[in-house]
Amino acid sequence: MNQINPIIVELLAKRGIRGEAEINEFLSDKPQKTYDPFLLPDMEAGVDLLLRAIHGGKKICIYGDYDADGITSVSILMEFLGALTQKIEYYIPSRFDEGYGLNSGAIRNIFENGAEVLLTVDCGSVSYEEVELAKKLGMEVLVTDHHSITDVQADCLLINPKRQDCRYPFRELAGCGVAFKLVQAIQRRADLPRAAINRVLDLVAAGTIADVVPLLDENRTLVKHGLHIIASGVRPGLNGLIEGISLHRETIRADQIAFGIAPHLNAAGRIEDAKVAVRLLLEKEPKRIRRHVEQLVSYNHRRKSLQEEAFKKCCQIIDCHLQDRKFLVVYTEDVHEGVAGIVAGKLKERYERPAILVTPSGEELKGTGRSIKGVHLYEVLKSHEELFSRFGGHEGACGFSMPKENLPQLEAVLEEDMERMLDENPQLFSQGIEADMKLEGSHITLELAEALDRMGPFGSKNPKPRFLLEKTRISGQRPMGDGRHIRFFADCRDGAQVECVLFNRAEELRTVLYGEEPVDLTGTVDFQEWKGNKKVQFTVEAVI
C-alpha cells in the first residue's frame, strides 16, 4: 500500500475499507467481488423453469417497471433470452393509467396474447393477488425483484436478495442487478459463452447507477465493468443517446450516467411510454436509433419544463401558506404526474424537510414523497397506513393513494410526528454539509484529484469525499453563466493558491465571496480535462 496516497487510505478507513486486499479491490479498475448467482433463493428453480419453457416452445412475457432500472432490466432479458427463443415479448405498464407493479388488467391482456410464462423484473414481490390471478389463468410465474418485502409475499418462485431467508452475501442489488444474476445463472447452467452476459453489463451499470442503490461491494464490480463495456461502444442505441446528449462514451463516468443518460431513459415513462427507451437500447438500425434518441431528448426537454413550472408553483404554495410546517404536504391540482417525484425531491432539498406532493387521481388522491436524512419516510407513513388505499416505499421515498377526505388527517398526524422527532433531535433540520477531513491548500494537487477519482464510481453510500479549507481569502473572482456560477482563487493559510468553482449560488453568496473576511470552504477535489490536458480544481459546495 506504499504507493497509495495516505489521504486515500484515511478516507477509505473512515468508510470501513481497511487492509491491503480490501483497499486494492475497492480501487481496482477491474474488481472481482461477485457471488454465485445460485445463492439467491429460488434461482435454481427459476433457471429450470425458463429453460424448460424455452425448450418447450412456450411464450414468455417479461413484465417490467417504467423507470430506468426497469427499462434496463427488461432490455437485459429481452436481449439475452431473445437469443435463445423467438417466443418472447415484454410489457411495461403506463405510469398514468396503471401505476407501478403488476395489475390484473395487464395480466389478463398478457394471457390473452398467448403468454404461458410471466417473468417480472424490478417488481412483483408483494403482488400476491395479481400472481394468484396469473396462476389461475394457467401461467407459470417467476418474480425477480430487489424491493423490500413489507407486505404479503407473492406465492411463486421469487428471486429477491431482500427475502428474509436469503443467504446471498449482498442484499443491495438493483433490479437490473438481479436480472443480471438470473442471466449469469442461465449462462452457467446452459454452458453458454461468457460474451453473452458480458455485453449486457453496460445496461447493468446504467440501471444500477440510475436506481441510486449503494455503489459498494458487488454493485461496484458490475458498474466498473459495465462502464468499460459502454466505453467500448458495443451497443448502437446507447452510443446514439450518448452522442445525442453531447457526452463521450470513451470517458463516461457514473455522474454522467446519473445526470445525463438516466434522466433521458426515465423521461420516456414520465412523459409518454417507457417502451421507447427499451426500443432504443435494443435497436441496431441507425435511422430508428436517431428517431428514438430525438424522442427521448424531446421527452426530457418536456420533463424539465413541466418540472420547473411545478416546482415554482409548489414553492409559492409553501411560501404563502405552509411556511411554518415541519412536514410539507403540498396539495396542487395541476402537476404532471410524471414529474411529481422529482419535484418532491427538490422541495425536500430547498426547504430541508420531508416533502409530499399530493395531486388528484380519479376518485382519489395520489401522493409522492421524499425525505431528509434521519426521517425514515416508510416507517413514518407505515404508522398511518389506515389512511391509504395503496402504499409503498422505503427510507427516502414513498408513494400512495388515499381517499380525498383523509388528507387533512394525514397533514395533522405527520406534523405531530415531525414535532415529536424535533423534540428528540433539535438538529434534524440543520445538518449542513459535513467534510470528511481538513486539507491545506498545498495538498490539493492533480495527483490527489486523480487518486480520488479511483475511489469512484461515486453515488449512494459512496459519495465524493468532501474537504474543508479553513480561513482562506478569496481573490480573482470571475462570474460565469449570467452570474449564476463563479470561478475564483482561494488563497490558503499555507501560502498555496487553489482554483475554485462554485455553481448556481454565486449571486446568493455574493457578499461573502467579495468580502474582506477569511472564509471556510467545503467541497470536492476534481480535475477538468480538455483536449488531453488535465487541471485540478476545488468544487465548492459551502462557504462559511
What are the residue ranges of helices labelled H in 15-67? 20-27, 43-55
328, three cell numbers = 410539507
pLDDT classification of 290: cutoffs 50, 70, 90 = very high
Please, are residues 431 and 542 in contact by the beta-carbon 8 Å criterion?
A: no
The yes-or-no answer to whether 322-424 and 437-543 have a common fold is no
Whether the per-residue pLDDT at 531 is higher than 80: the answer is no
pLDDT at position 140 is 98
Separation CA 373–CA 357 (nearest Å): 18
Q: Give CATH for domain 35-294.
A: 3.90.1640.30
Confidence of residue 426 (pLDDT cuts 50, 70, 90): confident
Name residues whose C-beta falls within 8 Å of residue 253's C-beta, 6 or more positions apart in sequence: 227, 456, 457
**For 446-464, how does the pLDDT look when each residue is reduced to its tens digit (9 = 90+)?**
999 999 999 999 999 999 9
**C-alpha dihedral over 518, 520, 524, 528, to 10 degrees?**
-10
Distance (Å, whole) CA 257 – CA 245: 11
Percentage of the chain beyond pLDDT 70 is 99
Give the CA dihedral 409, 411, 416, 422, nearest 10 degrees: 170
In the block, residue with C-alpha cell 453563466: 481
Cβ atoms of 120 and 92 closer than 8 Å: no
Report the pLDDT value the prediction gives residue 506, as an integer from 0 to 100: 92
The candidate with the shortest Cα–Cα distance to 399, out of 357, 359, 358, 368, is: 368
What DSSP element (H or E) covers 526? strand 519-530
Fold of 322-424: Diaminopimelate Epimerase; Chain A, domain 1 (3.10.310)
d(CA 231, CA 55) in angstroms, rounded, equals: 35
Q: What is the pLDDT of residues 241-252, one digit of tens each?
A: 999 999 999 999
Q: What is the pLDDT of residue 381?
A: 92
Q: Classify domain 437-543 by CATH architecture.
A: Beta Barrel (2.40)
Which residues does 291 contact at the CB level (< 8 Å), separation at least 6?
none
Q: Is the peptide bond before 426 cis (omega within 30 degrees of 0)?
A: no
The domain segmentation of the chain, as residue ranges, is: 35-294, 322-424, 437-543
Q: Is the pTM of this model over 0.75?
A: yes
User: What is the residue-averaged pLDDT of the chain?
Assistant: 94
Residue 2: predicted pLDDT: 56
> 407-429 b/e with 16+ CB inside 10 Å = b?
beebbebbbebbeebeeeeeebb
Q: What is the pLDDT of residue 298?
A: 98
Confidence of residue 98 (pLDDT cuts 50, 70, 90): confident
User: What confidence tens digit (pLDDT) does each residue in 37-75 have?
Assistant: 999 999 999 999 999 999 999 999 999 999 999 999 999
On the question of pLDDT at 380 being above 70, the answer is: yes
End-to-end CA distance of the chain: 36
